[in-house]
Amino acid sequence: MKPEIWMYLAVMAGVTYAVRVLPLTLIRGQIENRFLRSFLYYVPYVTLAVMTFPAILDATQAPLAGALALAAGIVLAWRGASLFKVSSACCGVVLVAELFLCR
């Protein structure tokens, strides 16, 4: 292994540690700002969406199949379907779409 890689790993570890420790040490009391509180409330959801949506389109053989499954999942979730129903329907949409698209 090249010596620079150890430096890259050390910097990465330091940044990762700082990102987790600095908020704990710098913010002692409860956050009173309404805007900042609402912003921090939605950060986990946004992070999950940013990681999930590109994977939905790239996980299938045809990106159109992933887009159709995404649209079906949004419609079903909007109408109040359970997570199991939404995920099952999305898998079914991908299966049917890839049968027709990937011949």
Residue 81 lies in a domain: yes
Residue 79 lies in a domain: yes
Kindly give the residue spans of alpha helices, DSSP state H, lying in 59-82.
63-78
Residue 90 lies in a domain: yes
CA distances from 90 to 8, 77, 78, 86, 87 (A): 40, 11, 14, 6, 5
Predicted pLDDT of residue 16 = 93
Report field, pTM of the whole predicted structure over 0.75: no
Residue 94 lies in a domain: yes
Residue 23 lies in a domain: no
Looking at the 3D structure of the chain, how many domains does it have?
1
Which CB contacts under 8 angstroms, 24+ apart, belong to 88-95? Answer: 93/65, 93/68, 93/69, 94/60, 94/65, 94/66, 94/68, 94/69
What is the domain range of residue 66?
A: 59-103
Residue 84 lies in a domain: yes
- Report which of residues 75 and 28 the model is more confident about: 75
Residue 36 lies in a domain: no
Residue 63 lies in a domain: yes
